[in-house]
Structure 1
């Protein structure tokens, strides 16, 4: 192991050292190049500014002379053309200008009026002057603002040609209608300036005008390879300056080579020291590893291949340790989540008491606040969950529940509040325990706002809706169960209040005790009317549903009443003739019960029941209409309902009135209406009597006569048989309630 580790460490060490050396060399080289380029740029700027300053000075001198010189004004004056004294004076003036500026090689004036040229040497007609082509070009075209490109100048045919650059200015300066002044500078003079400033053994500089190469700072030239570094352009002349260094071998190269040699010697020394340190440290570090390997081999003898490499054995042992650790962590996480779930469930559903130390332990273990200021429980229920269970798979519903939980937490966090815990204690209900500071005065309003934002987000982004019930604010851990009970109670009124609403228990006008007798009467009346084939059953049933909402009956109370309605309606329909009972069927009551069990809203329930019962009623009407006495018996029924309070009404009376056998009439009553004539009379009279007992203060005797009895005794006996109590006792009981 020692040799393998040493080789691996040394190879890495050497690679790193070599890489650092290369990077350092590249960095030094790059830095030197940048500094060289910067220095060369400053050098080129200095050369360019030196030449520009001299040329600018000449230009400024000429402009000043054009504006202020009396000699120039006299020369271009029309009355002074033939004055020899003036001409001599002008020649001296031009020589003085050239003397003041040593760069100036020559100056001459061109007078348009007599086409003559005067220089500091001669005074001749224009056609005899050697620079006539250039003068004609300047007369034809406006003179350039800057200095001209290099050109060949020859003042007389007998003189030698020179390469010059020229500055041309008009006279007068603004209009230029009288002539020109031309200043020539020998190119060699400019080159001499650069040569004095340039080290031709190390650097070079070349100047180009707008057309071609102008001159160089190296008089003798060089055979060394040029490396251009800087290119700049003069804003005054428009000339381009290119400068750089020669690639050469000399003292500088020797110096740099010596420095590099010392650098590599130093690096080699450092590498040797590093190798020795690595070997020493490797020897020290490998000892505990060898001891560890000895233990692993002894512990896993016969399990692991002891002849395998040490790293392979360590890797396998480590993998086993990681797997065991993962299992333990997963189990610990599951146990923690399960215990947290149980704690949350106990807080909401069990009447338990925590000591301050116990709660502090739980709080630290599950990340809960140590000090409980205030809180309340809200329950979020997914609406129409039965339909959703059919439409979606379980994993899709679980995803919806996950989204609801996360969105709730995000909204609560954005509003600046916190959730102590939230769990799906029932598959369609999310129980949430909100936590507040004691300074929050109306936490119910806060939770209602959060609930509205949650409902809005879920309805916008999904196809489901939510109903939220909110319990009251509590100020201790032990009171949380009370807030949860109130939230659960509020949900018991969901079928009456509808879906996608927010229920606050203390905002609901809940009565602890409801008198359900009147609702039972309404439902019985609706069932009777339905069996008789009258359309009024719909309004009666609708009125019963409206009463459920008005009196705010709980889901349990509503369903109990409607289960009774199904039972009573099925019982009454079973009393009908066989062919009628056959149309009703054995499974109609079952279908009504299924609709009731799956109902999530009273309006939806009423609509589905109404649609189903109307279809069956139409079939019953068709069947009834096929009987020979159907219409006649309907007329008899109407007559009985209008005259039930007549003490003399009987089957004999109806037989005479409607010309039908009394015994057959009784049989028809039983077959069509499911009850005998006497049962119908008694039911109608009792219904009216109950209304009078409840809503009026009339004496029992008067009520008996009004509903068709000749004496109060017979009325009381009949009432007790039907209702189980006497009329007076029934009235007193209703008054108390």
Structure 2
């Protein structure tokens, strides 16, 4: 397929995966960096506080110790009390004090004593003049200041030949200007002591004096300028403390080179790990997508395999999998619905066929097969007692005319449903099928023998009541005897159908059990006698024929004949008519055919004897009327011929008219006029005028008589009347006609 759903699923998952992964990476590194920064800040703050505390404690202790020695040490006081360098003992004692300080405080690099009384400096066990001492400039500068605190960093060397070292110095006055005690702490030793508190590869510590110079860079202006950029040179400053004792500033931070190197190493490791995780995630997404897509692929493959066997398979190339599955499912649902509908229709038809075969006996059923068929259609077993009933709709032709075909089907369904509901109310079952358009056949399951008749009576009575109450038509029910086996069931059907044959005599809207049908007394001799009298009276146009007609139907009612027997009697009546009318003139036969031909189809739709009587009586009355007309016509046909001959002989009688002839021949004028029209084909006046004009034309052709004379000779006393009549018949005046001749 062009739009493969697997690719669509994969392209749906991967962007989300990458976006989420990128966001997680970003968040992780941000959190990681921030956390490291916070930890670094805390560590550097602690380190700065520890370095500051260490410096303050160390330098304060040295300062305090020196000050205490100055104030309390007698040997030191004795050294500054003498006024010459000859006092070797005082020098030895001073060396002892210096050594004790250096031993007690390893940070002290050197201590020298300046005695103003003789301008000497006692250092390293010997006294030298101040101006010869390498640190003379510092001594001179310190002498002018009232109070000295720790200063530095500065370069110091005890001997001219010695290399200079970076130290910090505390200067204390002795007595009232008698001298100075100068204590130097080597920065290298101090730095080593401080470096034990941190790892120089990752962390840096910078210490600045009060003038802003860096202790580690000698405190010179160039060094101070370098030290003013510690963050850019070494790294970012994370913490800064200023000593309340020395006024020095301590700064701590991370070395850019080392930390970046470490971070890059850690980042590379983490990045490789993250890329590996992303690749694993991509592989996992592809694997999960393929695994989730596999059932869809199997379904599509299965559908394509099945559909490829059909000529009407869809064009799958233009559809994705779900569209294809959706289309296929819709088609399958439609086919399933159609199959279910067809199956239900087939099941209904099969059930009806089984019903007919069971009742009509067209197929034999064993007990096992009968049980299987009954179970198939969810019907109760035929185990005990049952009866067959036939429900026939009364006036079915009226029902068909009044209701549409769909309404007819609905009402028939209602009839069947009412019967089933009535059976359930009585605690039994009924199986009903419309075998014909007018009749509903049903099998009724009956309870025990002593209750069966009462149950059947209540059920059928209630059924008739409900039909009459809710529907606009009625039904008549024929009921067969109770059966206990298949053969009895089929016999019960025949009895129910036979009982309905007596609906014509017993009437509609009732229950006709086969046991209640009276025995018929079909006296054929009496029927033939009445039929013969009826036909003879009809032939003679005797009004007594109606009495014989009523007597015939009274005999049929009293004999309680079935429908078929009644039809046989009517056919016997028609056969007598055919035989009698075959001997009569043609016009009588035509009249009988005109009545009998349309009557035959109508005789198929009657239901009761009264319906049949009305149909036959209507036809026979029409036949009697025509018979009377024919006989009257034949009776006066001789009079018409005599009257016509009289007109031909006495046409010139001016008084000849319809009333004149009626008086002469004793016939009613209106009837005489009708006879003229029926027998001759034209009116009396037209016949008379036509005859007179023809005689006038002959006289004008054969004689030279005047037209006035001819007018009087043919019966016109008024010439104008003759002229008008002649012109109407011939189309020209008499004079013009003579000229033309």
Compute the TM-score of the two structures, normalised by the length of structure 1: 0.44
Compute the TM-score of the two structures, normalised by the length of structure 2: 0.43
